[in-house]
Structure 1
Amino acid sequence: MVLGGGTRLLAGASIVTCMVLVGPSAPSGASSAGTPLVEAVADVVPNRVMTWNICNPCEGDDVDRAAEIAAYAPQVIGLQEACVRDVERIRDRLENLYGLVYRAEYGTVLRSWNRCGGLPWSPGGFGQAILSAAPMTDLVSVEYPEGGSEDRGYMAVTTTVGGRSVRVFNTHLAQRRQEAVRADQVGVLAADVARHDRAIVLGDFNAVPNAPELSGIWALAADADPQCGPSLTGDCKPTTDWHSKFDYVFLRGVVPLEHRVHPTPHSDHHLLHTDLDTAGRSTLEAGPGPR
């Protein structure tokens, strides 16, 4: 049975009310640290995308993470430092608590018991994940030839954003002070992005906008924040607790409409989301302008 928007709102409100009243008998994993559930949302925003390094390990649980995502209800979410089990729980909570139904695909690069728990002989997968309200096809998961101090990679899917088919990438580059490794990784990623006229590249690039190793992606795409570019004069909002911009929504053949950065107590990276015009001409197609 498919519930209408009004029914989902009523159901979501009833769930929240019951959890408040019942308290300790709420489902295992419910937020006990005082994090309130957000107001139920009628549906996802069809032209909104989000990127978030959810931090592993960090304080906060999957109820907190689901609440953060539900507050903005994007059509597509790219997660980094994501364990498969965590993503499954986040997806389930988004549906059960907020009526937001997402599909999930994974770009696992590590099998890590320390990171993701599970049995030592059957550890959880760790890497990237994409949640999408629309079906996803043509999944590609690539581990970079050189990951630096930890295996890294990217994934890509074809899905629908703003009513248009678009290729969505999600990546996590090598940690700080590994510039040469990141430059090689950008080369691998950019070669795939260049094959698509319409692409959205989400991720934690572990580099500030004017870092030389990002030149390969800047040549193909623009930041979702039109004030942010690779020059030192760009006004780029920080996306981390250490006041650096490491997280990006790069756009190729897609026009940004509104861009927001939201600090969160549940990760050392902020949430970024942007609303898009997937049918318009991108900054790169329209010609040179403020970068």
Structure 2
Amino acid sequence: MLKRGGSRWLVGAVALGCLALMGPSAPGGALSGRSLPVEAVKDVVPNRVMTWNLCNPCDASNLDRAAEIAAYAPQVIGMQEACARDVDRIRDYLEAFHGLVYHVAHGSVLQNWGRCGGAPWNPGGFGQAILSAAPITDRVNVEYPDGGSEDRGYLAVTTEVGGRSVRVFNTHLAQRRQEEFREDQVRVLASQVARHDRAIAVGDFNAVPDAAELDPMWALATDTDPRCRPALAGTCEPTTDWQSKFDYVFLRGIAPVEHRVVHTTHSDHDMLYTDLDVT
């Protein structure tokens, strides 16, 4: 969705002015010294959904993250390990430098100065976030009863994908060797996904496809890669630097058209996007 008119150019002018004044930022900051795109992306792909664990802490600039997302211009993006301030900056850079306008929903599950900075009395929010080119309604942010070694949860919103109303869930499950916690978390998530005839559940599930704790999700949804399922786990394309598939776009009542795993140097998780047939 391309926002036309004076406000877009005002945002771009202010952002460019700030870049000229500030120059390259410190590692992990909002801006970097890389050259800016020559041409703005014209529009989002209306049936494209992306999931991306941003990696935190990682030495990546939000300007670079925005450029990575803009290259594929998804309608909806689910982010994990996301600081609320970083997500807001990414959204602003997507508009200012790429002409892409997104609504944002935050799903922070903890306030953490070490993860997200901020004043000691006002640390930044950390958790999930969803960007959508269409308006977002019915936001629900749920913290799992037990996150394991760190608070975890899911964010759910209603928005549009391919011109149709869809319930979108975005989650980050407990860390790799905490199967017992993920088992309970998946049951909580699956019970909510099952309430909708048409739903998308994205995120970092921290589990390979044939992990037993994912059974409730496989019982009601399919991965965007139709060849990737527990019985054929070895054929699933990895989505992490350690060559495991941890990132999913689970589909309920929606058909996949094509998908792609995009390697990125800005996170230890690759970007996974999929084009969908929502009809």
Q: What TM-score comes out, normalization by structure 2 length?
A: 0.90
Counterpart in the other structure of 1:273: 273
CA apart distance, 1:39: 4.8
Native 8 Å contact 1:60 1:266 kept in 2:
yes
Q: Which secondary structure state, in structure 2, belongs to the residue aligned with residue 243 of structure 1? A: coil
Counterpart in the other structure of 1:152: 152
Residues in 2 aligned to 1:38 and 1:254: alpha-carbon distance in whole angstroms: 36
Counterpart in the other structure of 1:88: 88
Native 8 Å contact 1:38 1:67 kept in 2:
no
Residues in 1 aligned to 2:39 and 2:273: alpha-carbon distance in whole angstroms: 18
Residues in 1 aligned to 2:116 and 2:20: alpha-carbon distance in whole angstroms: 28
Residues in 1 aligned to 2:239 and 2:87: alpha-carbon distance in whole angstroms: 22
Unaligned residue ranges in structure 2 (runs of 5+) = none
Q: Which secondary structure state, in structure 2, belongs to the residue aligned with residue 146 of structure 1? A: coil
Residues in 1 aligned to 2:89 and 2:275: alpha-carbon distance in whole angstroms: 26
Native 8 Å contact 1:186 1:213 kept in 2:
yes
Counterpart code for 2:32: S
Residues in 1 aligned to 2:82 and 2:184: alpha-carbon distance in whole angstroms: 23
Counterpart in the other structure of 2:67: 67
Residues in 2 aligned to 1:215 and 1:237: alpha-carbon distance in whole angstroms: 19
Counterpart in the other structure of 1:30: 31
Counterpart code for 1:131: L
Q: Which secondary structure state, in structure 1, belongs to the residue aligned with residue 231 of structure 2? A: coil
Q: Which secondary structure state, in structure 1, belongs to the residue aligned with residue 81 of structure 2? A: strand
CA apart distance, 1:232: 3.8
CA apart distance, 1:30: 3.0
CA apart distance, 1:59: 1.4
Residues in 2 aligned to 1:233 and 1:135: alpha-carbon distance in whole angstroms: 36
Alpha-carbon distance change, 65 to 264 in structure 1, aligned in 2, over 3 angstroms: same
Give a deviation string over 1:8-34, Cα, whole Å, max 9, x none. Answer: 8xx7xx98xx89xx96765864322x4
RMSD: 2.1
Counterpart in the other structure of 1:196: 196
Alpha-carbon distance change, 83 to 143 in structure 1, aligned in 2, over 3 angstroms: same
CA apart distance, 1:181: 0.5
CA apart distance, 1:40: 2.3
- Indicate the percent of aligned positions where both proteins have the same amino acid: 69
Counterpart in the other structure of 2:183: 183
Mapping for residues 94-133 of structure 1, pairs under 5 Å:
94-133=94-133
Alpha-carbon distance change, 233 to 53 in structure 1, aligned in 2, over 3 angstroms: closer
Q: What TM-score comes out, normalization by structure 1 length?
A: 0.87
Residue-pair matches, total = 267
Counterpart in the other structure of 2:222: 222
Residues in 2 aligned to 1:40 and 1:99: alpha-carbon distance in whole angstroms: 5
Give a deviation string over 1:24-66, Cα, whole Å, max 9, x none. Answer: 765864322x476475210110000000000011111100100
Residues in 1 aligned to 2:87 and 2:42: alpha-carbon distance in whole angstroms: 22
Native 8 Å contact 1:183 1:213 kept in 2:
yes
Residues in 1 aligned to 2:262 and 2:141: alpha-carbon distance in whole angstroms: 28
Residues in 2 aligned to 1:36 and 1:251: alpha-carbon distance in whole angstroms: 35
Alpha-carbon distance change, 233 to 170 in structure 1, aligned in 2, over 3 angstroms: closer
Unaligned residue ranges in structure 1 (runs of 5+) = 280-291
Give a deviation string over 1:132-181, Cα, whole Å, max 9, x none. Answer: 00001100100000100000000100000001000000000000110111
Give a deviation string over 1:197-250, Cα, whole Å, max 9, x none. Answer: 000000000000000000010001000011111114552100000000000000
Counterpart code for 1:271: M
Residues in 1 aligned to 2:260 and 2:185: alpha-carbon distance in whole angstroms: 27
